[in-house]
Structure 1
């Protein structure tokens, strides 16, 4: 009689953690180590040490606190994204105490792939890690709504970037739906096209506007007052 053992995942997701609270780091490390498809590669207590950790361990995903001594998470995120850009680099998932604040917004502009609340359910954090590693962005609950409100309340009139004029009418339609938070499947249903077609349009939109991903697209759209703009003309 022969016995077999369950096969381990061919390639585990390498996760690094940067946070100044030792107890929080211990909890997250234990959570990640309990997952067969995740590998905890190291931790750091401030942004500067976090940059060095990323250089040494080459993680796939970095969990990054926003407010830390020595160097904050925004600066660290920006440097990690810039340094690792040519090599693909890790996805940075920001950890924040609030649904959406200015610090989280700055982290997204700096290159983070999304953010989750520190008190999120363990299952949500694990799902967020897997999601950003797969190339999809993650927003904490209610964050998109808070983002919209933040830019709607601004007193200064936004300007339309010249690059927006390079989008075709169909690309502007896709842009608007993506900026409103619709998924590829929802956009496909709305436009009566395939998800593959939507992905192609999104990729072209990001390239023309010089944006890294859909998180930046949402921020870009609301910063410049482009949500709901007539698709036929800028």
Structure 2
């Protein structure tokens, strides 16, 4: 077994992954992510975006194929090795904001730092800096239940960035946000990542994420495709049903 080229911080080769019911989520996906790159993974719901990110981030083990990170064969690591990799090198932002209800906002944002052994004072300072950049520093002493959903998601993004991970995986991070603020948050996320040399793998459906990325990979039915034509986002006041009916995709392999 040979490690991938050094210019790829992450390399996936022929990944196959199935859901618990046996339905395929990934069918032979291969890709490389360069160090410091912002890579957007696009595709409609059910295309395999989340499964791909989870395999790359050591949250799920592919049934077949290889995942390499910085020369390490992630697909061969045991549970403890995968946990350490996620804690020490990776950051994750989910599409739904999940915070520890017993902790206030700054404690939630500082938690990964403290789990790495950073002192409380230093962790608090780092957390507050990121909360400020994401316009939620004024909520630092509130509990999660006192925040709006969009504010909770901003805290989750600050928590992921506070540790300055080697790779940040973001699975539809703007999903809980309104259209206007999602653009601002995505710009903050990608700009901050670039300024700190963080590699980003960003999954979403819309064109905004692709515009902020260095490169785009497109998935459909668990496979990489060259082009994917989706209908335009509905105008304000138009319902999703009309758009969904036109969501047929044309592609070229």
Query: TM (normalized to structure 1)?
Result: 0.33
Q: Which has the larger radius of gyration?
A: 1
Task: Give the structure with the larger strand fraction.
Answer: 2
Task: Give the structure with the larger helix fraction.
Answer: 1
Structure number with the bigger relative contact order (C-alpha 8 A, sep ≥ 6) is 2
